[in-house]
Structure formats: C-alpha cells, structure tokens
Structure 1
Amino acid sequence: MANSDDRRFEVLRAIVADYVSNQEPVGSKAIVDRHNLGVSSATVRNDMAVLEEDGYITQPHTSAGRIPTDKGYRLFVDRLSEIKPLSPAERRAIIGFLDGALDTEDVLRRSVRLLAQLTRQVAIIQYPMLTNAKVRHVEVVPLTQARLMLVMITDTGRVDQRTVDLGDVMSEETVGRVRGVLNSAVAEHGLAEAAARVADLPEQAPADLRDAMTRICTVLVESLVEHPEERLVLGGTANLTRNVADFPGSLRQVLEALEEQVVVLKLIAAARNPGAVTVRIGEENEDEQMRSTSVVSVGYGMDDLLLGGMGVVGPTRMDYPSTIAAVRAVANYVGQILSGK
C-alpha cells in the first residue's frame, strides 16, 4: 500500500481513537497535538479531505471536526493488527468469577454480568446448543413414593430437571430398575436418537411397569426434543442509556429490539466456530432497529465443537480492540468450563 494510504489510515485511526474517547468531532490540530504522525496540520487536513470524500469520515455540523462513519469503523476494525490484551489482573478476575459457578445456568449468568462490566455494553449469551450434544446421564430421584424427579445431564453441561407423577407407589428397588433401563437406552446417544429410543421403552417394559414407564418416558422425551439453545441471557441493558447521544432518535428502538428474542438470536448467529470473532457495524446489521449499533460476537466451545454464541451490543462509537479482547477471553473460559476442560 502506498505511503499516503498508510498515513491516511493513521489519521483515521487517530480520529477513531479520539472520538471513542471524547465523543467530540476531531480536528486536524487535535490530531497533530495528540498523535505523533510526523506531518503538518496542512497534510492532515488534506488527508481528512480525502478520507471524507471516500466516505470514511464525515462532518456532523459546521465545526472543523470530523467523526468516523460506519465505513470508517469497518476499515479500522478490518486493519486491527493487534487486539489489546487483557491485563493479568483482568484474566485472574475472569477465572475466579467463573470458576465459582455452580452449574451451567450460573456460568451463563455470571458470564453475562462479567462481560457487561468489562465492556460497559449490553452482553448476550446463548444457552449451549444441543444439536451435537449427547446424553451423559439420567438420574431418577424419588420425591415421594408416587413422584419422581428426572435429571438429564448432557456432555455440554446442560442440566434439565422435570417431575413425574406416577399415579401409583414405586419402590426404591423399582426406581433403581427404571434408572438402569433409561441410562442403557440413552447414555452416550445424541438427543434425537435418545428421544426415539425412549419413545420405544414403554412397549418393551414388563406389564407391571408399563403405565409408570409411559409417564416417565413422555416427560423425558419432552426434555430431549425441546430446544433450549434458543434461550438467551442478557445483561447490562442499562449501559446503553449512559450515552443517549450515541443513539439519536433510536435508543427506544434499540431497547425494544433487544426484547425480541428472534432479533437477538440473529445478532449472534454469525458465530460459527469457537473463538472466531465477528464484528457488524451500523448498517451491516440486518435488523433496521439495530443499525445505530455495533455487535461483537463470538462462538464459544472447545476445539471444533461449537456450544453457542455470545457477544455484546453497543454504539458504533465503541472501543473495538478492548471489546473484542474481552468477548474473546470470556468466551474462551466459558467454553473450557462447559466442556469440562
């Protein structure tokens, strides 16, 4: 790339950095004073004129200052050579905060709170997808002599609990038999196959167990065929209200859109591989209500196993290097925890 192009990108980088920091249009003198570019104000003004003509910056009003456009932010993000690493203290805080989680639900809720605090944006995390999950174990717990709790645990760490009213008394010995039959049928099988195998169990059961097995298997099949991967946890929505000026006339639309689960799922749908960060800026967002925002999303899991997506939503005036680093780090630890590694 020509030297003038490199210099103009450095001018764009300076404008992005100052505008994100101060929320004020940036002029040529401020760039020369704050950034060691080694050129005169006149050269910077000429570079700013070219950047504006090319659509990377714009003049919001009659002041001499310029602000980045969506196109300018996109070029800045695409040419990020270094992502600001989290400090050792930040990494220790993430590990300590997430390691204290009791179960999958707790991991997700802690992760959302943590990511919202680190980025000061809205954080989103998707429940682990069950498409590739396998049943690790089904526990059968007597609550009363005629009522059971079924606890299904998958290899993605998902725990699903449901109660079954038997309509009759069941002895502890029979509960043990039922537990053994269920695990023989479903353990280490994918959810769809496990559901089919469970559906066949009542016909195979002894006559004295057929009614109870029908009730039990009906409830267990519901756990196996539902789609909790469509459930989401959001946190930090109030962060959007810190700078209402970032959403001129559109903050209410953004808040309303975040209440729609389908819209939010689309925001993190780009996550396909664990650790692969996607950044969508302004007009790149499919939903019209979200076009004043930027979305940084990433898949979480381990190796090639994608468990779900997570990310943050904030204004286009976002500290992209720090946000990307935080999203990537939290996703990494969540993937390790939920994969049991």
Structure 2
Amino acid sequence: MSDDRRLDVLRAIVEDYVATQEPVGSKSLLDRHQLGVSPATVRNDMAVLEDEGYITQPHTSAGRIPTDKGYRLFVDRLSTVKALSPAERRAIETFLTGAVDVDDVVQRSVKVLAQLTNQVAIVQYPSLTRSTVRHIELVALEGSRVLLVVITSSGRVEQRIIELVETLGDDLVADLRTRITRATVGERLPEASLKLAEMIETFSPNDRPVVTSIVTTLTQTFTNERSDERIAVGGTANLARFGSDFDTAIKPVLEAMEEQVVLLRLLGEATQGLSVRIGTETGHEGLSSTAIVSSAYGTDDLALATLGTVGPTRMDYPATMAAVGAVARYVGRTLADN
C-alpha cells in the first residue's frame, strides 16, 4: 500500500511540475490532489522518494522536482495514455488525407506532429528494404522505349523509361509483364530482386538481352535509393519555448539535432509500439536534458519506419505519447490507402 501511495505522490509531483515548472512542495500537493493522507505522511513519502532517487531538491526550498529516474517510473506505470480530443483527431486525419505521395505524407506528418506536441518532430522516410512490391506496370512506348512503373507497399511510385536496342513485340511485353508480376508482387524488394535475376534464364536466348535490360533497370529501381536514411524534421523553433529546461544551454541540443545519424539512431529500429527514452537513455550527451517519444508506422504486419518527437524531460508524457501514436497510425493507414 505504501508503494502505491508513494507512486501517487510521485505522479502528482510530475504532473504539477510539468504544468507549473515550479518545484513542488507537500502543501501544494495536498491542496491540488486528493491524496487522502496527512501532511506528515506526504512529507515522509517525499523523503523516501528523494532517498530512492525519484525526486530531488534543486535548491534550498521545500519543493522537489522529478529526476530522470522519476520520469521513467512515471512513464512505466502509466495506466492510460491521454486520449486525443475529437478536434485533434480530425486535424490529423484532415491534414494527411490530402497527401499526394510519400514525400507529401512525410512532410505533412512532421508539420502536424510538431503542432500537436509543440516539440521537435522527426519522421523517417519509409524503408525500401522493408517495403513490398504492390504493383508493376510495363508499357511499350513509341519506337524501342518502354515505360516501367513500380508501386511499393509504402506508397512510393517510381517511373523509368528504358531505351532498348530493339522494339518489343506485344506478346513479349504481355509475357514479361505477367512473369514480372508473378515473381515480385507481395515480395520484399531484396527478395524480389533475386527472383527477377532468376527469371531471366526462363526466357529464350533471343529475348534475354532485352529482358536483362528491363530487369536490370527494375532491380536498380528497387535499390537505388536509401530512403530509410532520409528524415524530415520540423518544429525546431519549439525548443526555444523550453530554454530554461535544459541543463546548460539549448546549443548542444540544436547541434545534436543537426546530425542526421544522431536523429536516425534516436528514432531507433522500427518496432511495433511506443518507445520513450528519457535523459541519459538517449545515449547522447548533448541530449541528456531531453526525452524522445517514438513509434513505428506501417501496416499491421510490417513496420516501414519510425517517427517521433524530441522535447524536454519536463514534458506531458501522456499527451505526447498519444499524439505520436495517433500520427503513426494515421500515417500507416494513409500509406496503405495510397
């Protein structure tokens, strides 16, 4: 019972400090929260929490503030994530519905996530290596040219015009389209490339040169872009609102966020569910005063990439987690619908 009560005290301290940015004392806790215990009990619980490293006294006053360890326990013991309001949900859906391609989806996602959280938003582009082939079209153009169209499960559309040494007959175009579709649709791009290479030998020796040209271009289309190493960042100016939350200055935070490799590592590998890293858990000295909330996005059975936010450790974790999770779901749904 005492552990549950102390958790209630810690939760109240976190909520009050996030809201006021002022150290929290026992009197204010009793005034603002229905803890159902005496002032002496609250003071004792705060002393135990401080001894165990969950709260600390920033200066000689009666107030206490959460430590990274305290925030960690608060997040780990969250029973529910704050629900988004109907207006917030409509804003996400409306903002993403008009996206015309993957680039547009990513840019819109960054903007809406930064607006919802008032933090820095980071969105990783969908990984081609995790994507599967949704559709491939082969169209004979005038002369010896062929149009190749590739659509992946991430919603990316790639088009290539191939100049061949000879004109393809309609029968060969139809046969090639059928075999390419059979070999690639539903396959992850690396596996699709291997199957295409094996497919070349199934054609007659006379047709193999043109088939090889088309397959080579198609394979290059699968692998020519490391989209999983591209990110979009928005809302950096939001950090200025939290200048006093950083231990020394905001400069180390901004410098760390200029490094794309750092941002990619912060987002982490695409896995299902929300991830919250607090303070030193970020693994970067310049970001020791920040917290990163991230989530994978994609389809039900395939995570394509990650998105998230960077803000001070004194953040509204339930609201931020709700926003990140909601945007991730809408992005995955938007890409699937496209």
**TM norm. shorter chain > 0.5:** yes
Q: What is aligned with 2:279?
A: 282
SS of the residue 2:337 aligns to: coil
User: Which residue in the other structure is 1:137 paired with?
Assistant: 135
Counterparts of 1:255 and 1:148 in 2: how far apart (Å)?
A: 47
Do the aligned partners of residues 59 and 181 (structure 1) sit closer, same or farther apart at CA in structure 2, a change above 3 Å counting?
Answer: same
- Cα gap change, 1:208/1:65 in structure 2, threshold over 3 Å: closer, same or farther? same
SS at structure 2 position matched to 1:314: strand
> How far off its partner does 1:145 sit?
5.5
Match of 1:157 among 154, 157, 163: 154
Equivalence map 1:1-341=2 (5 Å): 2-3=1-2, 5-140=3-138, 150-154=148-152, 156-164=153-161, 166=163, 176=173, 179=177, 182-199=180-197, 213-226=211-224, 227-269=226-268, 271-273=270-272, 276-340=273-337
CA RMSD of aligned residues (A): 2.9
Cα deviation 1:221-279 (Å, max 9, x = unaligned): 22212432232222212211211111232522222222222222222225422xx1111
TM-score by length of 2: 0.86
**Per the alignment, in what secondary structure is the counterpart of residue 280 of structure 2?**
helix
Amino acid at match of 2:137: E
Unpaired segments of 5 or more residues in structure 1?
Answer: none
State which drifts further: 71-80 or 241-250.
Answer: 241-250
Q: Distance in 1 between matches of 2:40 and 2:283?
A: 40
Count of matched residue positions in the alignment of Structure 1 and Structure 2: 336
**Range moving further from structure 2, 66-75 or 277-286:** 277-286
Quote the offset at 1:172 in angstroms: 9.4
Contact 1:11/1:48 (8 A) holds in 2: yes
Deviation at 1:136, TM superposition (A): 2.0
- Do 1:164 and 1:215's aligned partners in 2 also have CA atoms closer than 8 Å? no
Which range moved further: 63-72 or 166-175? 166-175
Shift of 1:50: 1.7
Shift of 1:176: 4.8
Percent identical residues: 54
Does the 8 Å CA contact 1:112/1:233 hold for their aligned counterparts?
Answer: yes
Unaligned stretches of 5+ residues in structure 2? none
Q: Distance in 2 between matches of 1:246 and 1:142?
A: 61
The separation in 1 between residues aligned to 2:285 and 2:256, in whole angstroms, is 9
Q: Aligned partners of 1:61 and 1:172: how far apart in 2?
A: 82
Distance 1:137 1:50, change over 3 A: same
Cα 1:112–1:173 shift into 2, 3 Å: same
Measure the CA separation in 2 of the matches of 1:11 and 1:266.
34
Return the alpha-carbon distance in structure 1 between the equivalents of residues 160 and 248 of structure 2.
48
Instruction: Measure how far apart 1:48 and its partner are.
Output: 1.8
1:339: Cα distance to partner?
2.7
Counterpart residue type for residue 155 of structure 2: R
CA gap of 1:284–1:188, structure 2 versus 1, over 3 A, is closer
Q: For structure 1, which segment, 189-198 or 85-94, has the greater mean C-alpha deviation from structure 2 after superposition?
A: 189-198
Q: Counterparts of 1:172 and 1:124 in 2: how far apart (Å)?
A: 48
Deviation at 1:322, TM superposition (A): 0.6
Cα distance in structure 2, aligned partners of 1:157 and 1:172: 32
Q: Which amino acid aligns with 2:332?
A: G
Structure 1 residues 302 and 188 mapped into 2: Cα distance closer, same or farther (>3 Å)? closer
Change (3 A) 1:185 1:113: same
Shift, 1:217, TM fit: 3.4
- Residue 325 of structure 1 aligns with an amino acid whose one-letter code is A
